[in-house]
Amino acid sequence: INVNDWLQSLSESTLETIHLTNLNPEEVNRLVSGSLRTSPRLTRSLSTVLHSKSLGNPFFLRQTMEVLCKEGYFHFSLIERKWKWDLDEILDLRLDDNVVALLTRQMSKLPEDLLIGLKAASCIGNFIPYSIVGILSKHLGLDLDAIFRSLVQRSYL
């Protein structure tokens, strides 16, 4: 049975379908402003650039902001006590046009044990019984519990 058939077989009272849409520029600005704890008035130009690069896709926007932060495009000024960024630098930055390419690039930078954990999780599915984690940990010689926790913290699982 495929996933769509299974979902259709469930009663409609069991599942609620949620349709997600892309964020509009104002919603992106509220998200960016909240994330950087900065006035929406001050983040508007940054948000406009991030909206154009992410097309308002909330997942891609979050990943983009995370990459920009990790790569030093955002920095916190202790003197001014606020987040700062160089808008022209971000504007000129070539960001991948889709989430898959961005995630693939990020995943390629992960340590080997986390990559093995991702591969194991992808073979098992979205629910991994703890007993299976123990068996796989012994077989692979890795602490998959710790690896999965790290992957959850990094938003991969």
Q: What is the pLDDT of residue 5?
A: 59
Enter the tokens of residue 33.
């402003």
* For residue 30, pLDDT beyond 80: yes
* For residue 14, pLDDT beyond 60: no
Lowest model confidence (mean pLDDT) among 10-14, 63-67, 96-100: 10-14
Tell me the per-residue pLDDT of 106-131, one tens digit each, with 9 for 90 and over.
888 899 999 988 888 887 776 777 78
Enter the tokens of residue 119.
């591969």
Tell me the average pLDDT of the chain: 82
Q: DSSP letter string over 37-92?
A: T--HHHHHHHHHHHHHHHTT-HHHHHHHHHHHHHTTSEEEETTTTEEEE-HHHHHH
Q: What is the pLDDT of residue 42?
A: 95
Q: Decide if 110 contacts 118 (C-beta within 8 A).
A: yes
User: Cα separation of 16 and 97, whole Å?
Assistant: 31
Closest CA to 41 of 28, 29, 24, 31: 29
Q: pLDDT-based confidence at 91, cuts 50/70/90?
A: confident
Q: What is the pLDDT of residue 2?
A: 53
Tell me the per-residue pLDDT of 129-147, one tens digit each, with 9 for 90 and over.
778 888 888 888 889 999 9
First CA to last CA distance, the chain: 25
